[in-house]
């Protein structure tokens, strides 16, 4: 299963992605987590140290290696298990989770990230996964990765939103772009919901089929995004709510 997490800047994409990835690992999945944002922070929130992250080679550099191994470009990338040794070189393992990053930080005024996005799109689109493998992409803020088609080939696009007008506007643009990309399933999750007014704001704007979950504003989640590296998933009623949302994303029980 290939899942991308999108939404406006600051809505909580990365904290959500990190917790979701840890939950998938707990459920027995092998998770390939890709930080698709050049302004990367998923690795940090997963608790990987700065030194390790700095040394990690970006996946855009895998392109030639994989194409050599598989013979020619445009090929499918059966990442698992045929090229596992390449993967090892380009990822950091945290238990059953493998962390990748899309690209290096470039010099000021030198270049865009079109090449990186283009390879990531080819990779995601043509990945052949084992039954227990899940790929999670933490997308950059905003819409450009969707207009570039980076998310092409994902099975589910999860859009995180705050209960604010500008954040919801971004969701609506992303929904339209996802439709144009032919992404089969697009779901919305409300985050940082402080009260019933906030919840109503979101429920008035999305159908119950679109809006599959509401996450309350939580100091615990805020702390996770500030003091990074916690390996403990939220417990109590917040934990139950989150687990229910994760289950809905992967359509647990429908299989």
* Residues that bind a second copy in the complex, under the rule CB under 8 A: 8-11, 14, 37-39, 41, 44-45, 105-114, 117, 140-144, 146-149, 152, 162-166, 169-170, 173, 176-181, 225-228
Tallying the residues shown for the chain, one arrives at 255
Minimum distance of a second copy from residue 51's CB (angstroms): 13
84 or 220: CB nearest a second copy: 220
SS3 240: helix
In angstroms, the CA 98 to CA 87 distance is 9
Contact by Cβ (8 Å): 2, 124: yes
114 or 240: CB nearest a second copy: 114
15 or 91: CB nearest a second copy: 15
Minimum distance of a second copy from residue 188's CB (angstroms): 16
Beta strands in 43-194 (DSSP E): 92-94, 97-101, 133-138, 156-161, 185-193
Contact by Cβ (8 Å): 181, 146: yes
70 or 152: CB nearest a second copy: 152
Minimum distance of a second copy from residue 131's CB (angstroms): 28
- The conformation of residue 46, written as its DSSP 8-state character, comes to T
In angstroms, the CA 103 to CA 113 distance is 8
In angstroms, the CA 154 to CA 79 distance is 16
In angstroms, the CA 135 to CA 68 distance is 23
Structure tokens at 244: 């229910």
At 43, which helix (H) or strand (E)?
helix 42-45
Minimum distance of a second copy from residue 28's CB (angstroms): 29
Minimum distance of a second copy from residue 29's CB (angstroms): 25
9 or 130: CB nearest a second copy: 9
87 or 139: CB nearest a second copy: 139
110 or 208: CB nearest a second copy: 110
Minimum distance of a second copy from residue 16's CB (angstroms): 13
Minimum distance of a second copy from residue 198's CB (angstroms): 9
User: Residues 112-146, buried b or exposed e (16+ Cβ, 10 A)?
Assistant: ebeebbebbbbbbbebebeeebbbbbbbbbbbebb
In angstroms, the CA 24 to CA 30 distance is 8
């Amino acid at each position: 299963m290939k899942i991308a997490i999108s939404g406006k800047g600051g809505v909580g994409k990365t904290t959500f992605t990190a917790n979701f990835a840890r939950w998938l690992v707990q459920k027995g999945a092998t998770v390939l987590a890709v930080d698709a944002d050049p302004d990367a922070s998923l690795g940090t929130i997963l608790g990987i140290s700065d030194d390790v992250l700095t040394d990690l080679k970006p996946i855009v550099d895998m392109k030639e290696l994989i194409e050599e191994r598989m013979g020619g470009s445009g090929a499918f990338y059966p990442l698992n298990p045929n090229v596992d040794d390449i993967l090892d070189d380009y990822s950091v393992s945290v238990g059953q989770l493998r962390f990748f990053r899309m690209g290096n930080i470039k010099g000021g005024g030198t270049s865009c990230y079109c090449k990186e996005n283009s390879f990531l799109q080819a990779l995601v689109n043509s990945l052949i996964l084992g039954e227990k493998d899940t790929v999670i992409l933490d997308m950059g803020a905003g819409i450009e990765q969707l207009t570039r088609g980076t998310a092409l080939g994902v099975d589910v696009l999860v859009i995180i939103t705050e209960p604010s007008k500008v954040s919801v506007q971004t969701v609506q643009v992303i929904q339209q772009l996802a439709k144009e990309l032919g992404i089969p399933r697009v779901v919305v999750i409300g985050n940082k919901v402080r009260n019933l007014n906030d919840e109503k704001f979101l429920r008035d704007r999305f159908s119950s089929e679109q809006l599959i979950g509401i996450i309350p504003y939580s100091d615990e989640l805020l702390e996770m995004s500030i003091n990074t590296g916690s390996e403990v998933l939220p417990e109590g009623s917040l934990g139950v709510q989150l687990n229910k949302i994760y289950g809905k994303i992967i359509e647990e029980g429908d299989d």
